[in-house]
Amino acid sequence: MTLPYKEFEARLKALRARGVRVREIACVGAPRTLLCVETGGPAAPTIALAAGIHGDEPAGPAALLALLEDDALDPRFAYRILPCTNPTGYERGTRESVDGTDLNRTFGRGGQSPEARAIVTANRDRKFALSLDLHEDVDAGGFYCYDYTDDGLGAGVVAAVEAAGLPAQALHDGYDLGFALPAGTATFARGVVRADPRAEAAALGALTYTLALARNAAPRALTFETPSRAPWETRLAMHRVAVTAAIAALSQVSG
Ligand SMILES: [Zn+2]
């Protein structure tokens, strides 16, 4: 099931033998690094993929490793992949980092944690055609996503998940997202939440990884959630189908 972090790191570094660029970026002020994986040439539009900012949501990191090992990402795009953005939480199986910080609330003002600062610095001046961040939800029974795209790519992603025989979460106004959005600032459809990013940031009192990227670096951003209580293989399959479907949908709308 979940690989120890050392083994996860070794499996990613082993991809260097196939020409995948794998490096470590420093978390200034903390004794740890983040893995950064890059594929594709400079001329191709770049897609940002990230997972594991909550350490107790391991299916995302595992799905990104599997997609890389299987060479399953559409080669018409370049990729900047942060496969595990909270390595100490991953190791400990905790949502927070070893510092007790929910890192996904620290992306404001240039980054307010060592991990967020490392990511913000690494992505400075970069533009992404699409950003995907992979999460899990203990309360959900099916897959759902937060959709920050004007063209509603999330609906196609959910349709692909269901077409693969995997369940989507029924959502409704008032569904517990773990924080309270002001009335009228979000719309809910089957498997898709479309929240106003400004209202969401105000409700959280903070910027998430995705909200920070959506502000200026990625005109299209999606956050995926798989149900933590579902079988491991189901969660992996959901993330895999969703990532592949989002990239396919991008290639349609971006010509
Ligand atoms: Zn999460």
Domain at 148, CATH number? 3.40.630.10
Residue recorded with tokens 């008032």: 174
Span from the CA of 151 to the centroid of ligand 1 (angstroms):
24
Span from the CA of 178 to the centroid of ligand 1 (angstroms):
10
User: Could you give the C-alpha distances from 19 to 13, 43, 103, in angstroms and in order?
Assistant: 10, 17, 31
pLDDT, tens digit, 9 for 90 and up, residues 216-244:
899 999 999 999 999 999 999 999 999 99
Span from the CA of 150 to the centroid of ligand 1 (angstroms):
23
Summary mean pLDDT of the chain: 95
pLDDT over 90 at 209, yes or no: yes
pLDDT over 90 at 72, yes or no: yes
Span from the CA of 13 to the centroid of ligand 1 (angstroms):
25
pTM over 0.85: yes
In the chain, the N- to C-terminal Cα span, in Å, equals 38
**DSSP letter assigned to residue 76:** T
Mean pLDDT of 99-103: 97
Sheet (strand 33-39) strand order: 21-26, 33-39, 78-82, 46-51, 130-137, 221-227, 144-147, 192-195, 186-189
What's the pLDDT score for residue 255?
58
pLDDT class of 123 with cuts at 50, 70, 90: very high
What's the pLDDT score for residue 65?
98
Split into its structural domains, the chain has a count of 1
What's the pLDDT score for residue 185?
86
Span from the CA of 138 to the centroid of ligand 1 (angstroms):
9
Residue % of the chain over a pLDDT of 70: 100
Span from the CA of 152 to the centroid of ligand 1 (angstroms):
21
Range of the domain at 14: 5-253
Span from the CA of 52 to the centroid of ligand 1 (angstroms):
7
- The helix/strand count (H/E) of the chain reads as 8, 9
What's the pLDDT score for residue 176?
81
